[in-house]
């Protein structure tokens, strides 16, 4: 194992542990064990746990931006691109790699750890607003439609959806929130439309996913238009800078 590979494995291991345990629960020893690296290797590449955590948080932010941009930058109408972003398969019950860290007191208390989170959410809102502004310019939405405000609402719905799903132990609330958001977008269509009838919206975040994933949880309360969460499909895996054997495509923004 060369030095560059060891550094990447240490970063990837720290990403996983921060996602699973938070900052306080991620010890240097746990990082070394997960990465298969010794203490000397860790301190050769990084000054310590804070330095490694900053590298891991930056990597999380970079990867999640790439995943979101892949969906928002595809061909199609604004609503189709937002639908693709909302409907991408994710490990809902593990939460968001970036949003979860924003709830970690140790992370938000450190300006260097918090900065990538703030930058990523600001970027995502701006990216979504740009897509929605294109839709308004192309006549998809009425003149009173607010792209910036709607973009902020989309980010809030996704992050809130993770919280609702995790608190329920069921991915259904996340998918229900995403489908509800798509119905609201349809209600702003030009000429003015109305929300679709009950049941899964054609091409909605729920109906665009496969009915179920192997080994995924399915709990009571997954209402119409929802389905169990599953791991991201391979097409969504950016793999940017990841160490071998660790998948970073899940639980994207």
Unique residue bearing structure tokens 């929802």: 226
Residues 197, 48: Cα–Cα separation, whole Å: 55
Cα(158)–Cα(102) distance, integer angstroms: 14
Q: How many angstroms separate the Cα of 232 from the Cα of each of 91, 121, 194, 238?
A: 7, 21, 32, 11
Burial degree of 123 (CB within 10 A; 0-12, 13-18, 19+)? middle
Tens of pLDDT, residues 168-208: 999 999 999 999 999 999 999 887 443 333 344 444 555 44
Contact of 228 with 213, CB cutoff 8 Å: yes
Distance CA 228, CA 218 (A): 5
Q: Over the stretch 119-162, which tens digit does the pLDDT of each residue have?
A: 999 999 999 999 999 999 999 998 899 999 999 999 999 999 99
Band of the pLDDT at 250, cuts 50, 70, 90?
low
**pLDDT score, position 2:** 66
Homologous superfamily of 65-236: Tetracycline Repressor, domain 2 (1.10.357.10)
pLDDT at 4: 82
Asked which of 15-24, 39-48, 158-167, 205-214 is least confident by mean pLDDT, the reply is: 205-214
Domain ranges of the chain: 65-236
Whether the Cβ atoms of residue 154 and residue 83 lie closer than 8 Å to each other: no
Question: Is 236 a residue whose pLDDT tops 60?
Answer: no
Q: Given pLDDT bands bounded at 50, 70 and 90, which one contains residue 253?
A: confident
Residue 33 token pair: 């064990």
231-242 average pLDDT score? 36
Q: Is the pLDDT of residue 93 over 70?
A: yes
Cβ–Cβ < 8 Å for 86, 182: yes
Q: Looking at residue 143, what is its pLDDT?
A: 83
CB 179 within 8 A of CB 204: yes
**φ and ψ at residue 189, rounded to 5 degrees:** -65, 150
pLDDT confidence of residue 213: 40
């Amino acid at each position: 194992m060369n030095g560059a590979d060891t550094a990447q494995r240490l970063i990837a291991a720290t990403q996983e542990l921060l996602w699973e345990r938070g900052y306080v629960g991620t010890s240097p020893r746990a990082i070394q064990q997960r990465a298969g690296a010794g203490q000397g290797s860790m301190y050769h590449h990084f000054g310590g746990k804070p330095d490694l955590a900053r590298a891991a948080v930056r990597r999380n932010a970079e990867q999640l931006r790439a995943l979101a941009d892949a969906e928002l930058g595809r061909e199609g109408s604004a609503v189709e691109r937002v639908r693709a972003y909302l409907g991408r398969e994710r490990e809902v019950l593990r939460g968001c790699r970036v949003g979860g860290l924003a709830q970690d007191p140790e992370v938000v208390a450190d300006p260097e750890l918090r900065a990538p989170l703030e930058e990523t959410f600001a970027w995502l809102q701006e990216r979504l607003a740009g897509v929605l502004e294109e839709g308004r310019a192309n006549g998809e939405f009425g003149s009173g439609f607010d792209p910036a405000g709607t973009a902020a609402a989309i980010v809030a719905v996704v992050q809130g959806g993770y919280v609702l799903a995790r608190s329920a132990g069921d991915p259904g609330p996340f998918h229900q929130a995403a489908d509800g958001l798509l119905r609201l977008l349809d209600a702003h269509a030009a000429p003015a439309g109305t929300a679709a009838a009950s049941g899964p919206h054609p091409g909605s975040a729920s109906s665009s996913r496969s009915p179920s994933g192997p080994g995924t949880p399915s709990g009571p309360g997954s209402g119409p238009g929802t389905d169990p969460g599953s791991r991201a499909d391979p097409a969504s895996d950016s793999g940017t800078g990841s160490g071998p054997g660790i998948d970073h495509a899940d639980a994207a923004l």
